[in-house]
Amino acid sequence: MILSEIGSKVKSLRKEKNISQEALAKIVGISRNTLSKLENGYIANISIVTLDRVLNVLGYQIDIKPHNPFA
């Protein structure tokens, strides 16, 4: 999944839960501008920890599965 797809999903989940960018950013501990950039796919250097915090607040978690090149 590319960053723009992740950002789009974050935005969709946030809107489904009726949470403003300002509120989500405050809970996570980032600026609203950073969250906006994430949602629009413009920030490539967001940490996995920050992304995990955003998703946790929205009720999701990062699930990393091993890649099997022979599957």
> pTM, whole model, 2 decimals?
0.82
CB 13 within 8 A of CB 54: no
71 residues of the chain, pLDDT tens digit each: 677 898 999 999 999 999 999 999 999 999 999 999 999 988 878 888 999 999 999 999 887 777 777 76
Question: Where does 3-57 sit in CATH, by number?
Answer: 1.10.260.40
14-21: long-range contacts at Cβ-Cβ below 8 A with a sequence spacing of 24 or more? 14/39, 14/58, 17/58, 17/59, 19/57, 19/58
Contact indicator for 69, 63 with CB cutoff of 8 Å: no
Q: Where are the domains of the chain?
A: 3-57
